[in-house]
């Protein structure tokens, strides 16, 4: 069976390029709608994180259903997109960043499958059940990150291979005081989704990496922040983002099947 690559499209990235077959996956955590399609030479399972029209806020996304649905389909590698704010004046709107670490400030979201009762079998064949404590020394898959960054540089895009993603609860934007504290802690970017997905993917032994598109400077670094600004920048860069994903998928075969994820 051909291996399927999982893609989760964030704000502004709501559907795959090609025609797709919609399939509802029933999971122990709720239903997830998946678009099955082909991008380049790869079979792809595409999930729209916020639904078309951006109708689901970040704190209400059913992250467990989405990640489990991809696991159910046999996905072992996930690439996602994220619209983020920059905490660094040298990383401007329109730039891409492939983070290597995160700091999680979300509260109340279910961020584990393993409540003591759940059990499943990983893609590798390993069985997991009970209470699981996963290692997140390298939360984002180093192999996929390297492929994305190398591809972006070959395409002559403004892309950075490292960064610290600060994940907040949302849906509100942050205050300048919060942004300043995040910067002191070593944050590079601020968003509202990636850490939740990353944790869950690691619990199921799935390689996970995200492509962050900087859509604005964070609070206190510009006069104000608006959703329209975020979508404007995303619309301007969506062609580049799709090209980056497509070319990355062409190279993804060179990613090791035996990484730490």
Q: Quick check: 144 and 77 in contact, CB under 8 A? A: yes
Q: Can you tell me the distance from the alpha carbon of 66 to that of 125, in angstroms, rounded to the nearest whole number?
A: 21
Q: Which two tokens stand for residue 159?
A: 């892309």
Q: Give the integer Cα–Cα distance in Å for 260 and 134.
A: 11
Cβ atoms of 29 and 70 within 8 Å: the answer is no
Q: State the pLDDT at residue 255.
A: 52
Percentage of the chain lying above the pLDDT 70 cut: 97
Please say if the pLDDT value at position 230 is more than 50: yes
Mean pLDDT value across residues 149-168: 96
Domains and CATH numbers, the chain: 4-254 (3.40.50.1580)
Query: Which tens digits make up the pLDDT trace of 18-56?
Result: 777 899 999 999 999 999 998 877 899 999 998 877 889
Could you give the C-alpha distances from 36 to 79, 131, 165, 243, 250, in angstroms and in order?
15, 32, 29, 19, 17
CB 259 within 8 A of CB 207: yes
Of residues 256 and 228, more confidence is placed in 228
């Amino acid at each position: 069976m051909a291996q399927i690559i999982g893609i989760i499209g964030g704000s502004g990235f709501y559907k795959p390029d090609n025609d797709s077959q919609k399939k509802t996956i029933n999971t122990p955590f709720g239903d997830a709608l998946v678009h099955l399609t082909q991008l380049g030479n790869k079979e792809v399972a595409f999930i729209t994180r916020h639904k078309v029209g951006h109708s689901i806020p970040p704190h209400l996304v059913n992250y467990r259903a989405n990640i489990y649905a991809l696991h159910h389909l046999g996905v072992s590698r996930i690439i996602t997109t994220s619209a983020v704010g920059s905490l660094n004046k040298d990383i401007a709107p329109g730039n891409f960043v492939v983070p290597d670490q995160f700091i999680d400030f979300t509260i109340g979201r279910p961020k584990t499958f393993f409540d003591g009762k759940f059990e499943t079998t990983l893609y590798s064949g390993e069985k997991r059940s009970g209470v699981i404590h996963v290692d997140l020394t390298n939360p984002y898959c180093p192999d996929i990150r390297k492929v994305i960054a190398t591809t972006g540089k070959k395409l002559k895009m403004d892309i950075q291979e490292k960064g610290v993603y600060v994940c907040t609860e949302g849906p509100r934007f942050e205050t300048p005081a919060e942004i300043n504290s995040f910067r002191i802690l070593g944050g590079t970017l601020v968003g509202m989704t990636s850490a939740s997905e990353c944790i869950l993917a690691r619990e199921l032994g799935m390689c996970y990496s995200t492509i962050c598109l900087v859509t604005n400077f964070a609070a206190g670094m510009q006069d104000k922040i608006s959703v329209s600004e975020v979508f404007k920048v995303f619309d301007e860069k969506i062609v580049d983002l799709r090209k980056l994903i497509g070319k990355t998928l062409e190279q993804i075969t060179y990613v090791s099947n035996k990484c730490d994820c």
